[in-house]
Structure formats: structure tokens, C-alpha cells
Amino acid sequence: MSDRAKFIAKIGAGAAVLAVTLVTGWEGYSARVSRDPIGRLQACYGHDDQTMTLGQQYSPAECRAFLDTDLLVHAGVLDCIAWPPRGTLTDGEKAALVSFAYNVGVPKACGSTFVRRLNAGEGTAACAELDRWVFAGGKDCRIKSNNCIGIVNRRAAERKVCES
């Protein structure tokens, strides 16, 4: 079974479509390895691999394979959900959770107030916690001069999907 099929099986088809839309929309696309706003190497749809070579280029097929694998890895955040059982999360909650984990990493996502509140069954209040995750590299992204307003906009989009 492909990573894409495993991802869809793990979170469901509806949530998978929402998650792919969120991730690809906010990560953007660049086939060439570059540095992200906090200095990490990335390529394609935000694929983070610090062994890549700056300037290296990947094909569209390679980028899609990275995306499929990365989505499956970050869907591991659903394993941190104890209550309510994963089956009772909405597609929006699952998609927002995967997008959030894709951006901050599974360990940080699992330790977040967002996940704690989802586990407490506080869906709407849990989604509101996304508004707190607006820092990148120690910078408050709500301050326009820090040049990371995209994080604030991404969290707003994730929250909207989460609450839908």
C-alpha cells in the first residue's frame, strides 16, 4: 500500500482532502532546496530534510512522494488523541491537526494545548488554541516587521477548518 493510501486510511478521505489543501496551500511549492524563514533546509511542499543540498532540485513526482510520506508521518499526531476516540473527531479537526503537526512537528503538536483540549472533548475551545501558535524562530509573527505573518494566517485557516 502506498503512503498516500495509508494516509487516507488513517485519517479518512474527507479529512485527507482538507489536510492536503491546507498543507500545500500554506507550505507552497518549490522544487529547489532553499532555507525556510527560520533557516532550515526545505524543498517541494515544505519537506524538511537537513541532509539535502542547498539548490538541489527535485522532480514533481519526487515532490509528491515526499508530500505523501510527510503527510503520513505527521498524521502520527492522531496517535496522541486519547479522548475523544479518533473516530469521533470531525474531518476538519483531523485536517487542522495534521496541518498543525506538519508545521510544528508531531512532538510539539502532541504536547500542545490544542491536543490536550481535543483529548478533553473541548472541540471548539481546542480549535481556538491554534491562535496561540504564532511564533517562528522565537519571533512573534503577529508583528508585521518580523516578516512571518504567514504563520498567523495559516493558524487562522487551520482554526477555520478545525471549527467547520
Please list the active-site residues. 27, 36
Q: How many Cβ atoms are within 10 Å of 87's Cβ, its own excluded?
A: 7
Helix and strand element counts for the chain (H, E): 8, 5
What string of DSSP letters covers 13-41? HHHHHHHHHHHHHHH--EEEEEE-TTS-E
Angle between helices 149-163 and 13-27 (to 10 degrees): 170
Question: CA–CA separation, 125 vs 83, rounded Å?
Answer: 15
